[in-house]
Every structure is written in C-alpha cells, then in structure tokens.
Amino acid sequence: MKIAININELTLRQNTGVKVYTREIAKALGKIDRENEYYLHTSRRDGDLSRLDLSRLDLSRLDLSRLCDESAINRRLRGNFKNFKLKPSKSRLPFWTYLKLPQEIKRDQPDVLFMPIQATPFFKKPKNVKLVVTVHDLAFLLFPNHFTQKDKFLLNFHTKRAVKMADKIIAPSEATKKDLVKFYGISENKIKVIWHGVIKSELGSKASEPSSDLILFVGSIQPRKNIVGLIEAFELLRQDPPSPLCKRRNNLKLVICGGRGWMADETYKKAKESKFSREIIFTGSVSDKERDELYKNASVFALPSFYEGFGLPVLEAMSYGVPCVVGDNSSLSEIVGDSALLVDANNPNDIAKKISSLLSNSELRKDFSQRGLKNAEKFTWKKTAEKMLEVFE
C-alpha cells in the first residue's frame, strides 16, 4: 500500500498531545512495517536542517526552502525508515491542510490517507483513497462554556466534516467512542478504539520519601483541565491554620507545565492572586528533556480534568513511577483503573485530600507508584501502530 500521513503537526514549536501522538505513531509504524510505502506530508517551514532530530521525527526546525534540503532529508530519513519519504509542500498558502494537501493527495493517489487530527482536506475524496481520521475528544460539545464561540464553531465544523468523510474513525478511548455515537450518530462499526502508547522511563518505582514536595500538572492551560480547582486544592494544602482534611506542607510547590491554551486568563489570574502565588510555578511549553526532568522530581502528579479524550500525561507520569491523582470521569478512569487515586473534579477538598494522603503516607505512595508502573506497561506505541496497521489494511 501507499499510505499518506499528514505530519504537519510536527512543525509546531509547542509540544501538544496531538504532536506527540503524530510523532510517536509515525515512528512506531516505521519500526514495525517494512512492506508498505509511507508518504509524510508537511508544509514548508523555515529553520535549520542541521538541527533536525530525525530520531524523534521532529520537524519544528526543518528548512525546506531548497530542493537540496529535501533530498538530504529523505536520504537521512531512509537511513532509519527505508520505506518513508518526506513530501514537503512548496506552497506558502495559509490553511495548508485544507488547501494544499488535497492537491498533493490527488497527485499521489495513495491507497490510504491518515489524518492524526480531527480535520480533513477541502476536497471531494477520490474514490480509490481510503480516509482514516483520529478524533481525540469532543470537549467542545461537552463543555461549550470552556471554549470561545469561534473555537466551538471551527472545532465542530471540522470534526463533523471529518467523521462524515472518514472511512474509519480512530478513537483513543471507549469514552470518546461513546461521545461520537451520541453527538454525531456515527455507527459503532465505523469507529475503532486504539489506545495511545507511552514512552517508557527507565527509572522504576519512586523512592518512598521524595527529596522535595512537588505537585506536577502537565497539559495546556485551558478551563477543561481544571487548573483553577487544582490551585484551590493547593491552597488548602498550604493554608494556615491547616485544614482538618489536609496535612500542611510548608515546602510544597505546584508546578504547572504546558503552553497557553484558549481562555487561559482566569487560570493565570487565580494563580497571581493566590496567597501562595510564589509557590505556583508556570513553566510554559518545555522540551521533552525538560518535561522528563519534571516527572523525575515530582512527588505527585495531578490531572483533575473535567474531561479528557485520553490523558496521555497520566501514563507518562506513571511510567516514571509518579503516583497520580486524576478526575473520576471520561477516559481517565478508563485508562487508570485502580492504579491512581480518583477524585471529584468539582470538589477541591477531595483533590486536596487525595494529594495529601499520598504526600503523607510513604507506603500508599509506593503502592500507587508500583500500580502506575504496571498499568503503564499495557500502553505501548508498538501496540498502537500494530492496530493502526490493521485498520489501514
């Protein structure tokens, strides 16, 4: 088969869940499949070719301004992935995915077009091209107040169009599959649930006594992530006199790792006005290496989101042996099972109480560290790629 993949998400400088998904599934497919031909489509970006990390398939600094660069990149790419070919667009048109990519697909006539984002090119799909689309979540329909009117319209427009055109829809969880059936009336037979994988850490179980009290959150800054609720829980943990629910920790810090998302002003305002604002640290978007260091040093990982289509950072934290506290909703309870403490995302007291129980009880912390490690082992990008290849076939 000729399989085309839209990898344009990899040109973004900011790390996002969809960027990680696109990168890791492309790498995993390259490792397990030596028979089919893969065409990696991306728009042209300015940068320095010498800084391109092909081992991670990170195109954020790729220079495609000259033809010789394209030849060089494909020679290096084929060194690791013999049946991969980069297909950079020479156009600088805006809205590349919608306007330029369809021209590329019509010209190349692949057997399968894989869109790892919930959008499709603006074209009438060629009859001989099968379309596979991943829908990551439908948060904009479940929590409309957490999105601007413009974002709600665009997300619904592109998602509705994508699920209608797709020959097969990939959902990262049973929760997202149910949402697709509920809101778009999609036949269950059209949807395939394929869990994400996680890159394994070599650290193993966390020490029973962490060197520092650090609560870590990883994700974009947006209302759905419930960072405001997490900050309120942090204030309960730090308050004086101590809350009867929570053991006070004078050296406790809250680290919020992630880029600015939509409607983030309320979150930043809440942190700035907090009595403990100096102990609330926003890192912004960080590199993979910097994020890994945060996981290594975290005492507890907290993701009390109102909704997640999958929740990849939870599994990343578990792979480092970090005990986790997550919202008891959507896909989160599905992917963690009994390997994390579940909380009522609408109740800061509950969030604080569960975090405190892990901070103050070394045996409980060690127990959930080991549970998390065992749970993370079930999620591999190799398994994800194998199931994805079955869909393509």
- Among 229, 214, 169, smallest CA distance to 193 is for 169
What are the strands, taking DSSP E only, across the chain?
2-6, 37-42, 84-88, 112-115, 130-134, 168-171, 191-193, 214-218, 253-257, 280-284, 300-303, 324-327, 341-343
Going by their DSSP bridges, the two strands 191-193 and 168-171 should be labelled as parallel
Amino acid at 331: S
pLDDT at 92: 65
d(CA 234, CA 243): 11
d(CA 359, CA 76): 47
Q: Is the peptide bond before 210 cis (omega within 30 degrees of 0)?
A: no
Contact 47, 64 (CB under 8 A): no
Contact 196, 310 (CB under 8 A): yes
Name every residue whose Cβ is closer than 8 Å to that of residue 227 and which is 6 or more positions away in sequence. Answer: 217, 221, 256, 267, 270
Q: pLDDT truncated to tens, each residue of the chain (393 aa)?
A: 999 999 988 877 777 888 889 989 999 999 899 899 999 988 865 433 333 344 555 544 444 444 345 555 555 555 556 788 888 876 666 788 888 899 999 989 999 999 999 999 998 888 899 999 999 999 999 999 989 899 999 999 999 999 999 999 999 999 999 999 999 999 999 999 999 999 876 655 565 555 568 999 999 999 999 999 999 999 999 886 555 655 556 689 999 999 998 899 999 999 999 999 999 999 998 888 899 899 999 999 999 999 999 999 999 999 999 999 999 999 999 999 999 999 999 999 999 999 999 998 989 999 999 999 999 999 999 999 999 999 999
pLDDT at 71: 56
- Among 103, 168, 172, smallest CA distance to 130 is for 168
Angle (CA) 203 204 208, round 5°: 105
pLDDT in tens, 7-17: 988 877 777 88
Q: Give the pair of three-digit tokens for residue 58.
A: 């990170």
pLDDT in tens, 290-315: 998 999 999 999 999 999 999 999 99
d(CA 273, CA 186): 45
d(CA 46, CA 54): 17
Strand partners, 2: 37
